[in-house]
Amino acid sequence: MTKHTVTLTDNKTGESIELDVLHPTQGPNAIDVTQLYKKTGMFTYDPGFMSTASCWSDITYLDGGKGLLEYRGYSIQQLAEQGSFMETCYLLLNGELPNQTEFDEFTHRVVHHTMLHEQIKRFYSGFRRDAHPMATMVGVVGALSAFYHEYMEIHDEKNRYETAVLLIAKMPTIAAWSYRYANGLPFVYPDNKLSYPDNFLHMMFSLPSEEYLADPRMSRALEVILITHADHEQNASTSTVRLAGSSEVNPFAAISAGIASLWGPAHGGANEAVVRMLMEIRDSEKPVQHFVDKAKDKTQSFRLMGFGHRVYKNYDPRATIIKELCHKILNESEVAEEHRDLLDIAMKLESVALEDEYFVSRKLYPNVDFYSGIIFLSMGIPLNMFTVMFAMARTIGWISHWHEMMGDDKTRIARPRQLYTGETSRDYPPMDKR
């Protein structure tokens, strides 16, 4: 096959350079600029990585124009309708769906890691009770590096795989305990007989004094939310994990960095921000149009939370699944009914925005975070736990990318360059001359 190249010509010097074009199995081709600096002494400039592919990856593919999302080639719709979160974890980590034996063996491995080192309990009490649970998550997950020394062999593939299993297993326990601690409730140990979502709901809501049975409608809803949030290729938090991991740091520190990155309202923190916005709209008694106008006003920092996406220029396929789920939950559950006013506002907001030239011309659609918060509220999960839920689901994505990256011989320490705009060299003046 003929090598595909592009020629770059400097119109100042007239010098040209040929750069290779790289062809992935799906998605846009990329110009290989790795030799550019060596050959021309110039960098590329791309703040926010608008046009930059940072790695090769086999894990997740998304086509923002078509609104398509696939994990290892399987559509998110099929996985959400027919699959389980455990199968999704296996798929993301191993590349294939498990057969029954592989599934049983994997589940067995996961459930036997759900407990936390008993001393980690004491780590929680160092936090203020009113700490945001995401702050607790960043701390506790980072602190795992102080407890599980035997999982530090980052160049050993088997050890990396075991760390992945350990993290998927422990994340619901860590997440639920951050809620229990904040609310002065006793920590509930995992119950390995339960499914992944049921076990999480058990650790969140059961009391030592009463029997607890998770509502199967809520368990299924949580399963779908976990699947739809499991991975999203090179988003900010996954790129953070890869960047931190590229320095060969231990995986717990890398995942803790990913959790920190997810927390921001432009990323996973949007699920909390959406519901706060919907509540603000409801309590203001102002029409939805007022908030749509405010979001368009460039003199204000206000944005429609849960709207817009760097890659999707069409409806986010995860939002379609979650919106449907939200309707289902609200129609089926008497408890959830009390949040119908928020769903009504969300739907009104969506319909007004999708008719508005500002949102249409910029291709701004609801994203994964627009409807998920109403489901969380219906489950009894408090606002400040929403991004923790996202982190719990995304852990498998982060760790699969870290595992892939550590096994990739093209991985180098991630070290971007800059265009310096500061002062040029000058002499140090004594204090009395400044």
Residues that bind ligand CMC (CB under 6 A): 235, 266-268, 270, 295, 303-310, 362, 364, 367-369
Beta bridge partners of 89: none
Residue for token pair 């400097």: 10
Measured from the CB atom, the residue of 195 and 235 that comes closer to ligand CMC is 235
In 3-state terms, what secondary structure has residue 272? helix
- With residue 265 as reference, give the H or E element that holds it: none
With CB atoms as reference, the residue minimizing the distance to ligand CMC is: 308
Q: How far apart are CA 6 and CA 39, in angstroms?
A: 15
Do 269 and 300 contact (CB within 8 A), yes or no? Answer: no
Q: How far apart are CA 339 and CA 219, in angstroms?
A: 18
Q: How far is the CB of 388 from ligand CMC (least distance, A)?
A: 13
Q: How far is the CB of 321 from ligand CMC (least distance, A)?
A: 14
Q: How far is the CB of 294 from ligand CMC (least distance, A)?
A: 9
Q: Indicate the angle between helix axes 340-355 and 369-379, nearest 10 degrees.
A: 180
Please tell me which residue in 198, 215, 231, 369 is annotated as part of the active site.
369
Beta bridge partners of 69: 62
Please tell me which residue in 132, 202, 309, 339 is annotated as part of the active site.
309
Q: How far is the CB of 278 from ligand CMC (least distance, A)?
A: 13
Measured from the CB atom, the residue of 219 and 239 that comes closer to ligand CMC is 239
Measured from the CB atom, the residue of 217 and 296 that comes closer to ligand CMC is 296
Do 367 and 309 contact (CB within 8 A), yes or no? Answer: yes
- With residue 8 as reference, give the H or E element that holds it: strand 5-9
Cα-based distances in Å from 391 to 49, 93, 225, 243: 23, 17, 12, 18
The question of whether 369 is a catalytic residue gets the answer yes
Residue 97: what are its φ and ψ, rounded to 5°?
A: -70, 145
Q: How far is the CB of 292 from ligand CMC (least distance, A)?
A: 9
| Residues labelled as active-site residues | 309, 369
